[in-house]
């Protein structure tokens, strides 16, 4: 893959990186709380190899909104958070509004010639939680669903709301064993719930905090290559 073939576009809505001409697959990657679409952009070269088909990475920006957990300070967030536990009420309206944003992003890729079956929904932390939520409920089969250092949103509604279209879609979950932000137990609970519903989950645990490490990047690249083969 020649560097000259790469193209990066930046807009208010998203940062897009194409690793070659006329990509036929896309990865929609959602950032974490308070970050933006540039957060994972620098890692793109580590996810591809010269012989790989061209990919389009789409890194959207979450809306600005007050976040209760952070004292009501406005920042980029896919939904409001009161507390990171399984006892506090969740922002169902915000979650579903961001689900609509994700649906629009998938449909935009469809309009540009990329089939849903060639699209991966991915994300880190809050973005990973949204990828799991929207991906398991999406009405058309996706290529894969990836959640990094995240948790399950509105877990009690998953069994009733999940779409049969993505029952067999590969799911990649990864978490740090020393994560002080999203407790490892929350990531493991998401994994076990999905496994209990017969999803094909690939679970990875790393000795790291709330972050991404080189071995995880290697594992992500290998998984992307498999699901987009």
- The residues annotated as belonging to the active site are 125, 179, 210
Count CB atoms within 10 A of the CB of residue 3.
7
| Mutual angle of helices 92-111 and 126-137, in 10-degree steps | 70
Encoding tokens for residue 215? Answer: 């071995």
Rounded distance between C-alpha atoms, residue 167 and residue 6, angstroms: 34
User: Contacts by 112-117 with C-beta closer than 8 Å and gap 24+?
Assistant: 113/24, 114/23, 114/24, 114/25, 114/26, 114/56, 116/140, 116/141, 116/142, 117/141, 117/142, 117/143
Torsion of CA 53, 118, 196, 92, to 10 degrees: 120
């Amino acid at each position: 893959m020649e560097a000259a073939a790469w193209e990066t576009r930046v807009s208010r809505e998203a940062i897009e990186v194409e690793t070659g001409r006329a990509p036929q697959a896309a990865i929609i990657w959602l950032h974490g709380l308070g970050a933006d679409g540039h957060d994972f952009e620098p890692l793109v070269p580590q996810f591809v190899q010269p012989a790989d088909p061209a990919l389009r990475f789409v890194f959207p920006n979450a809306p600005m909104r007050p976040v209760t957990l952070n004292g009501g300070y406005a920042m980029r967030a896919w939904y409001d958070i009161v507390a990171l536990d399984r006892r506090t009420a969740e922002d169902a309206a915000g979650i579903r509004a961001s689900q609509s944003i994700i649906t629009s992003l998938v449909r935009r890729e469809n309009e540009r010639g990329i089939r849903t079956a060639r699209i991966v929904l991915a994300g880190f932390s809050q973005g990973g939680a949204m990828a799991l939520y929207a991906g398991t409920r999406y009405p058309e089969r996706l290529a894969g669903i990836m959640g990094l250092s995240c948790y399950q949103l509105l877990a009690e509604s998953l069994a009733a709301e999940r779409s049969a279209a993505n029952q067999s879609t590969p799911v990649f979950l990864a978490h740090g064993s020393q994560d002080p932000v999203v407790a490892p137990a929350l990531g493991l609970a998401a994994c076990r719930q999905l496994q209990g519903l017969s999803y094909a989950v690939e679970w990875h645990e790393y000795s790291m905090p709330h972050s991404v490490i080189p071995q995880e990047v290697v594992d992500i690249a290998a998984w992307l290559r498999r699901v987009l083969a």
